[in-house]
Structure 1
Amino acid sequence: MRALLPTGDPATLVVHGEAEEPRPGPGQALVKVEAFSVNRGEVFRLHGALPGVGLRPGKDIAGLVVQAAADGSGPRAGQRVVAHPPGGGWAEYAAVDTDRLAVLPDTVSSVTAAALPLAGLTALRLLRTAGGPAGRSLLITGASGGVGHYVTELAVAAGADVTAVSATPERGRRLAEFGATVVHDVAAAGGPFHTVMESVGGPATARALALLRPHGELIWFGQASRQPATLDFFGFFDGPSSATIRHFHYEDFPESYGADLATLVRLVAAGRLHPEIGRLSDWSSTAEVLSDLHDRRIAGNAVLTTAP
């Protein structure tokens, strides 16, 4: 089958090549991939990849089940699904554990669904970690990407007072339409906040921490700047009198990916969640899209469709 393979060359991170078609295990469905989205984390991994070492990127896919799981679990053949495999999704076919799948209704396209998994799962689980958002103030840094988009839309709809830090007015316009207060630097965020969701790193982490209310919580879920954060214990008291710092990783939850993907699909189908696709291309353009994503030339999600 055709698949995108890493090159080890920063100028062209992936090329089309041939890979063995996956052989599903008893609890796996075989999915014909129709669309997939790419994430900046995958781009960074590819920059350090060596050709021929087995790295097969691709965690956000949507397509058609062509072979149901042999153990009877999951969707039947012929059903359209969105999926979050651990890798290997940038290919014509992917074998996916059935607890990583959710069935799509006719009203949700594969292109729309492909933009959901990583960013949507992260946003949904961030809000679950933060607790009920109604009536609470929330600051999210690095809000220009897919996670910030989903967190903002869901939190505002649930009654939170959201301030989103977006790098530029253009990137922040959609967040403002949802009802968030948009600023372009943490220093302009005001506060204090019940909850801070911090994903930038570097000096932004300490600045965001200082904006917490007493007994507030900072949920640390990323380091998009690629700069380490340094926190000073005594400087901490320039901000909240006491607070909690929580490390977050979207994988560390008891709920299955399939269950949470089904929630995201229901929200989209009901018109309560609107994926923002900043780039839609055929997968022949994947290397170019990866470069643009790395250099932050794409707002929202980048989705690629596989050739017929």
Structure 2
Amino acid sequence: MKALIPTGDPAEPVVLADVPEPTPCSHEALVKVEAFSVNRGETFKLERPAPGERPGKDIAGLVVQPAADGSGPSRITRVVGHPMAGGWAEYVAVPTDALAELPDSVPAPQGAALPLAGLTASRLLRTAGPVLGRRILLTGASGGVGHYVTELAAAAGAWVTAVTRDAGRGARLAELGAVDVVHDVADAHGPYDVVLESTGGRALPLALARLAKRGTLIWFGQASRTPVTLDFFDFFAGPESAIIRHFHYLDADTRLNDDLAALVRLTAEGRLHPEIGRVADWADTARTLTDLRDRRIRGKAVLTLS
């Protein structure tokens, strides 16, 4: 079968190659991939790929071989899945607890845009706790996670301030429910009950300074790729007794397939709108990865298999 494999070359980070078709374990279904999405974090990993590494975590397709242990969807079932690797290929083996059925009303590109960003957003808000009436500051809001967080939090009754440098992306975040859109963390007023921080560098101390007393800052990324320096005494200037919490989307009590099914249901009902900035044939994956890395794509980028 054909699959995309890393090259280590920033100009052309992946190429199509012939690889063996996967042999599923007993708890895995074999899925024929119709579409997959790529994430900006994956572009960073491609800079120094591990030997034999096969990227790809977000897919939509058709189950062509159910799991041998009887779990999960049956044959010829449309699904969205979140394998830990190998999804940028014609076929991928996916654990059944990382699969959810995809109704005909949700196109494959929309389904493929859901897993990593959608799971991160929904689990991030669950970690934040009840958000009804609470003021939330969201940095790095113009990516795939940021669009989902904004729409989900606003629908749950939060007052969301979204930080994005791009005016066009800010307008879309306002459409999704952001009450305020600012182009720099320094322009956010606060105080905020919750800060969701994904940028790192200078942004995190600035965001922390806008946190309310005994508020919570959840740190879920470092898109700037710049280390953070915090001063203990800065807490006394406002965010006294605040909590700073590290977040990773796989550290959750709920199963992936349950949360995937919830995201699919909200999308099918028109209550969640995957923000897809590009849909292209998978022959264009290398250029798409470069554009995503360099922030030339808003929201998610999806590749389809012809």
Which bracket does the TM-score occupy, shorter chain normalised? over 0.9
1:110 partnered with 2:108: yes
**1:114-133 map, 5 Å:** 114-133=112-131
Alpha carbons 2:235, 2:242 under 8 Å: kept: no
Structure 1: give runs of 5+ residues left out of the alignment. Answer: none
- Secondary structure of the 2:62 match is strand
Which consecutive aligned stretches of 4+ in structure 1 deviate over 6 angstroms post-superposition?
none
1:183 partnered with 2:182: yes
- Secondary structure of the 1:224 match is coil
1:104 maps to a residue whose letter is L
TM-score where L is the length of structure 1 = 0.98
Counterpart in the other structure of 1:77? 75
1:263 partnered with 2:262: yes
**1:30-109 map, 5 Å:** 30-49=30-49, 53-109=51-107
**1:189-200 map, 5 Å:** 189-200=188-199
Write the deviation string for residues 204-256 of structure 1: whole angstroms up to 9, x where unpaired.
00000011111100000000000011101012222222200000000111211
- Secondary structure of the 1:216 match is strand
Write the deviation string for residues 82-120 of structure 1: whole angstroms up to 9, x where unpaired.
000000000000000000000011111111000000000
Counterpart in the other structure of 1:156? 154
- Secondary structure of the 2:283 match is helix
Q: How far 1:14 moved relative to its partner?
A: 0.3
**1:203-242 map, 5 Å:** 203-242=202-241
Alpha carbons 2:80, 2:99 under 8 Å: kept: yes
CA distance in 2, matches of 1:241, 1:69: 52
TM-score where L is the length of structure 2 = 0.98
1:224 maps to a residue whose letter is A
- Secondary structure of the 1:65 match is strand
CA distance in 2, matches of 1:289, 1:215: 42
CA distance in 2, matches of 1:123, 1:170: 21
1:37 maps to a residue whose letter is S
2:54 maps to a residue whose letter is R
Counterpart in the other structure of 2:170? 172
2:148 maps to a residue whose letter is Y
- Secondary structure of the 1:252 match is coil
- Secondary structure of the 2:169 match is helix
CA distance in 2, matches of 1:241, 1:256: 35
1:175 maps to a residue whose letter is L
CA distance in 2, matches of 1:177, 1:9: 38
CA distance in 2, matches of 1:26, 1:264: 26
Q: How far 1:168 moved relative to its partner?
A: 1.1
Q: How far 1:49 moved relative to its partner?
A: 1.7
1:39 maps to a residue whose letter is N
- Secondary structure of the 1:217 match is strand
Structure 2: give runs of 5+ residues left out of the alignment. Answer: none
CA distance in 2, matches of 1:94, 1:157: 34
CA distance in 1, matches of 2:240, 2:35: 48
User: How well do the aligned residues superpose, as a CA RMSD in angstroms?
Assistant: 0.8
Write the deviation string for residues 127-151 of structure 1: whole angstroms up to 9, x where unpaired.
0000111111000000000111000
